[in-house]
Chain A
Amino acid sequence: MSTTEEELTADDVVFTDDVAATSETVESAESGDDDRRYAVFVPNTYEGEQLLKPRSETTARELMREVGSVLRMSEAEAAMLGDLPEDPEEDQTMIINMGPQHPSTHGVLRLMLELQGEEVLRCKPIIGYLHTGMEKTAESLTYLQGGTNVTRMDYLSPFNNELVFSMATEALLGITDEIPERATWIRMLLSEMNRIASHLLFMATNGMDLGAVSMMIYGWREREEVLRFFQEVTGLRMNHNFIRPGGVAADLPPGWRDGVLQLMDMLPPRLDEYDTLMTGQPIWRERLQGVGVITPKEALALGATGPILRSTGVPWDLRHDLPYLEYEQLEFDTVVGSYGDAFDRYAIRLAEIRESMSLVHQILDHMPSGDYRIQDKKVTPPPRARIDESMEALIHHFKIFTEGFKVPEGEVYVGIEGPRGETGCYIASDGGPTPYRMHMRDPSFTNIQCLPHMMRGGLVADAVAVISSVDPVLGGVDR
């Protein structure tokens, strides 16, 4: 090194210093210090162990274990598959951070990509940038307040979150069978409308990620119409806290039926426009078909649910298979794909909007009259009018909103079909007015694990399409 320095001109000395510093780090890395080895690549975004392991440590054996366990076969069998990429030289690959601030990562998802040229060799999703400890918060909110918390988790499907939380609470209270019919049907109406809104937003973001920017405007436009209906019903566009333990917060407002019908009239021609703009269009198909393929075995092993699982051809829809509310009375199809690629996931969501619309029509025909919440005084606050007349009602109202109601000891898990897959709620109660422990099983959190498998061997340009087709909501992932 010293001889080189002597030969260099003064201008080059700075450069030489850099090289010297780098090679020093590499040398110390060779002595076994992993953290410092990686400091060479990402000195400014260093986060300790949140790193891909050096390739030398994760070659054949590690990769094989990954593939082997996912495909449910022994490592020997996995090795015979022979589709594992040849290990490239260490200096031919590049590790790149995508996100957390990247327009196509749907919030604050960060992906570490190992690239060889344009090809993605490995990918590791890193999450937690939106973590606000909502499960901890839930432990200090009463069951009546809990809805305000869970509705903000997966913020694109607020009704489904409230619904599953309410259903879990009701199961603990043992009042599941006493929920008035009208409340149940209002819940179904809202969660189907929510599915439509959520899938419309997927259409928008998926279009935007793939360069169909006008689609972004169309998707948001239609979703906004649905949200306007939500606003008429609940008072808020998002984060409604409308579905509560015991029923729903209020009856549907006058004119709600016209509002729904107006939406249902508006949507079909718009969806046909989407078909013209995207489904049949060669560029769109080229961009999505065969991209991010996942097999049924992989999807099942990784716990994927919702459109991702169905895109592989597995007809699993909780509304059909483990029915809840009154879905048994309705007729609808489970939409499945056949290739498990990004196009299937797009097409499934588009078809599910149409299925949900047919469901909404059936719900409109069925909608019974009656109470919109249970008349169990323990769970339901007295109506506003009673408070003016009765001191007891006033006290009762005050107590239920300040102290909440007590829920019997026990634990329960309830799962429903949200727009992204199984939304589950696990509540353990110690008999008090707040959940002892509340855990939300958010579909996005599990589905994100599919990303490395969908991306392996694909192009970095397709990574955007893959993230988009998984449709993660980071509010739900990080909670």
Chain B
Amino acid sequence: MTVLDVPMTELRGQQVLYPTREQYLDVAKALADDGFTIAVDLCGVDYLQHMERPLPDEVVAERFEVVVNLIDIGGRRRMRLRVQVPESEPTVASLFDLHPGTEAHERETFDMFGIEFDGHPDLTRILMPEDWVGHPLRKDYEIGRIPVQFKGAHA
């Protein structure tokens, strides 16, 4: 099934569109004209350890995904966009000019995954400290551990 020349799936009662990076902004604009005027959530996923996930045939699986949840207030519908973002060039267009409410979400996605958003007015770290190295929610990011020391335990 395709909508707006973009493959679509409907699983568990949820509609998902899979635009490419090039189609992404145009699809978001077309959907906004169709009533999906609120971008309620935007987040990233790093599929490094799960590259063989189920996707429509036309979609080429990449390491990162940007997931956008839209709401149509008038029609009381939800729609989700899943955009594939390659590891070699983790950049997508920013939704800021269309949905300014994604500003913080895009910054968070940049902070956590290192995905860059073209046209974002202030793409800086939002949750981690400024001088932090790396992007913590990436799957190849080591989790730090503090060694547990038991009092009186024999080494």
Point out residues on A near B: beta carbons under 8 Å. Answer: 47-50, 62, 65-66, 69-70, 127-128, 131, 133, 135-136, 140, 171-172, 174, 300-305, 314, 316, 321-322, 409-413, 415, 422, 424, 426, 428, 430, 436-437, 439, 441, 445-446, 448-449, 478-479
A–B Cβ pairs within 8 angstroms, 10 of them:
A70-B100, A127-B126, A303-B40, A305-B40, A409-B54, A413-B80, A422-B40, A426-B41, A445-B104, A449-B103
A203 to B112, CA, bound (A): 35
Residues of chain B lying within 8 A (CB to CB) of residue A70: 100
A428 to B104, CA, bound (A): 21
Q: Is the CB of A135 within 8 A of B137?
A: yes
| Residue from the list B40, B97, B112 in contact with A441, Cβ < 8 A | B40
Q: Is the CB of B12 within 8 A of A174?
A: yes
Starting from the known contacts A413-B78, A439-B41, 17 additional A-B residue pairs (CB-CB under 8 Å) come to: A48-B131, A49-B124, A50-B125, A66-B100, A69-B100, A127-B126, A127-B127, A128-B127, A131-B128, A171-B12, A300-B73, A316-B73, A321-B73, A410-B54, A428-B53, A441-B40, A478-B127
Count, chain B residues at interface, CB 8 A: 46
A48 to B101, CA, bound (A): 24
Closest-by-CB residue of B relative to A131 is B127
B84 is an interface residue with CB less than 8 A from chain A: no
Q: Is the CB of B67 within 8 A of A300?
A: no
Q: Is the CB of B38 within 8 A of A428?
A: no
B56 is an interface residue with CB less than 8 A from chain A: no
Closest-by-CB residue of A relative to B43 is A439
Nearest first, the 6 A-B pairs at minimum CB distance are A303-B101, A441-B41, A48-B130, A128-B127, A430-B50, A439-B43
B65 to chain A minimum Cβ distance, whole angstroms, is: 8
Q: Is the CB of B101 within 8 A of A430?
A: no
A116 to B12, CA, bound (A): 53
Residues of chain A lying within 8 A (CB to CB) of residue B143: 136, 140
Q: Is the CB of A424 within 8 A of B41?
A: yes
A50 to B128, CA, bound (A): 11
B11 is an interface residue with CB less than 8 A from chain A: yes
A225 to B102, CA, bound (A): 38
Pick from B47, B102, B127, B129 the residue with the most CB of A within 10 Å. Answer: B127
Q: Is the CB of A128 within 8 A of B137?
A: no
A322 to B72, CA, bound (A): 11
Point out residues on B near A: beta carbons under 8 Å. Answer: 11-12, 14, 37-41, 43, 45-47, 49-50, 53-54, 67, 69, 73, 76, 78, 80, 82, 96-97, 99-105, 108, 112, 121, 124-131, 136-137, 143
Q: Tell me how many residue pairs across A and B have CB atoms closer than 8 Å.
A: 120
Q: Is the CB of B76 within 8 A of A437?
A: no
Q: Is the CB of B104 within 8 A of A448?
A: yes
Pick from B43, B80, B130, B136 the residue with the most CB of A within 10 Å. Answer: B43
Residues of chain B lying within 8 A (CB to CB) of residue A430: 49-50, 53
Q: Is the CB of A410 within 8 A of B12?
A: yes
Closest-by-CB residue of B relative to A479 is B127
A139 to chain B minimum Cβ distance, whole angstroms, is: 8
Q: Is the CB of B97 within 8 A of A69?
A: yes
Residues of chain A lying within 8 A (CB to CB) of residue B108: 445
- Please judge, given known A-B contacts A128-B127, A426-B69, whether A412 and B100 are in contact too, CB under 8 Å: no
A85 to B125, CA, bound (A): 29
A48 to B47, CA, bound (A): 31
Q: Is the CB of B104 within 8 A of A449?
A: yes
- Please judge, given known A-B contacts A135-B137, A303-B102, A449-B103, whether A314 and B41 are in contact too, CB under 8 Å: no
A479 to B108, CA, bound (A): 11
A478 to B126, CA, bound (A): 9
| Residue from the list B43, B100, B127, B130 in contact with A49, Cβ < 8 A | B130
- Please judge, given known A-B contacts A128-B128, A171-B12, A409-B53, whether A304 and B101 are in contact too, CB under 8 Å: yes
Residues of chain A lying within 8 A (CB to CB) of residue B39: 303
Residues of chain B lying within 8 A (CB to CB) of residue A131: 127-128
- Please judge, given known A-B contacts A426-B67, A441-B40, A446-B105, whether A301 and B76 are in contact too, CB under 8 Å: no
Q: Is the CB of B76 within 8 A of A446?
A: no
- Please judge, given known A-B contacts A436-B50, A449-B101, whether A413 and B38 are in contact too, CB under 8 Å: no
A225 to B54, CA, bound (A): 49
Residues of chain A lying within 8 A (CB to CB) of residue B127: 127-128, 131, 478-479
| Residue from the list B11, B96, B128 in contact with A410, Cβ < 8 A | B11
A159 to chain B minimum Cβ distance, whole angstroms, is: 21
Residues of chain B lying within 8 A (CB to CB) of residue A314: 73
A411 to B18, CA, bound (A): 13
Residues of chain B lying within 8 A (CB to CB) of residue A428: 45, 53
A322 to B99, CA, bound (A): 21
A411 to B126, CA, bound (A): 26
| Residue from the list A65, A128, A441 in contact with B129, Cβ < 8 A | A128
| Residue from the list B12, B54, B76, B104 in contact with A322, Cβ < 8 A | B76
A69 to B95, CA, bound (A): 11
Residues of chain A lying within 8 A (CB to CB) of residue B100: 66, 69-70, 301-302, 449
